[in-house]
Amino acid sequence: MYQLSPSILGADFYNLEKQIMQVEKAGCKWLHVDVMDGMFVPSISMGMPVISSVREHTSLFLDVHLMIEKPERYIKEFAKSGADMITVHTEACTHLDRTLTLIHECGAKAGVALNPATSLDTLEYVLDKVDMVLLMTVNPGFGGQRYIPSCTSKIRRLREKINSLGYQADIEVDGGINFDTINTVLDAGANVIVAGSAVFHGDITDHIHKFQEQFAQYNRKAGKKS
């Protein structure tokens, strides 16, 4: 199933409540929350208090992306704050298997994120434990960057690997996804799309509906193939 996960990093924080309500009303099911610590990535963004506040006022699936060093330190706190999916970077975890197990023990779904230059080989011994793999299609830390074209083959190879092993993990892509690049990543095999600027900059409802129209086309293609 295709999902749009609008990233509130691209939202107007002065009007965050209003914009999240627009996202929900437009038919989105997911909301992406980028947590940055100023160490793993250059920027500092938001943390548990923001997630807790958002959780109190929406039923959206909270897709929390931890761009932080040693994320295992805070897994329990993020789960208590209301995260439905907690995604950690393989580059930031000393014991990735243990961290994924902890996420599941806290009642959340577990995701693993890879930076553009990180090999898919790092997933070799944990792919059976993840609910989602997040492939960064820009170098993380800032919104509004351009999609890195070499990531397309990486998405395709990951989809082939997941399918060949019979796993059900979602493939999420994050970075430079807009109406010019959406077909590229969907064709390659991604099914969860993170978009910040492409959703929140301008008419939110109209942008979401355009993404949903693209998903509908791919669902129809899949129906014909089956």
- Is 189 annotated in a binding site? The answer is no
Closest C-alpha to 98, from 77, 126, 120:
126
- Is 78 annotated in a binding site? The answer is no
- Is 202 annotated in a binding site? The answer is no
121 is catalytic: no
Q: What angle do CA 38, 44, 49 make, to 5 degrees?
A: 125
In our burial notation (b when 16+ CB lie closer than 10 A, e otherwise), range 189-216 reads bbbbbbbbbbbbeeebeebbebbeebbe
- Is 175 annotated in a binding site? The answer is yes
CA 98 to centroid of chain Cα atoms: 21
- Is 40 annotated in a binding site? The answer is no
- Is 27 annotated in a binding site? The answer is no
What tokens does 87 get? 């995604």
Break the chain down into helix, strand, coil percent, rounded to 5. 45, 20, 35
- Is 84 annotated in a binding site? The answer is no
**DSSP code of residue 208:** H
Strands (E), the chain: 3-6, 30-36, 61-67, 85-89, 109-114, 132-136, 170-174, 192-195
Closest C-alpha to 186, from 223, 150, 221:
221
- Is 150 annotated in a binding site? The answer is no
174 is catalytic: yes
Residue type, 136: M
Distance CA 164, CA 152 (A): 19
Find the catalytic residue in 34, 37, 63, 170: 34
Find the catalytic residue in 37, 63, 170, 174: 174
- Is 223 annotated in a binding site? The answer is no
Active site residues: 34, 174
Q: Which residues are annotated as a binding site?
A: 7, 32, 34, 65, 141-144, 174-176, 196-197
Q: Which residues are annotated as a binding site for substrate?
A: 7, 65, 141-144, 174-176, 196-197
Q: Which residues are annotated as a binding site for a divalent metal cation?
A: 32, 34, 65, 174
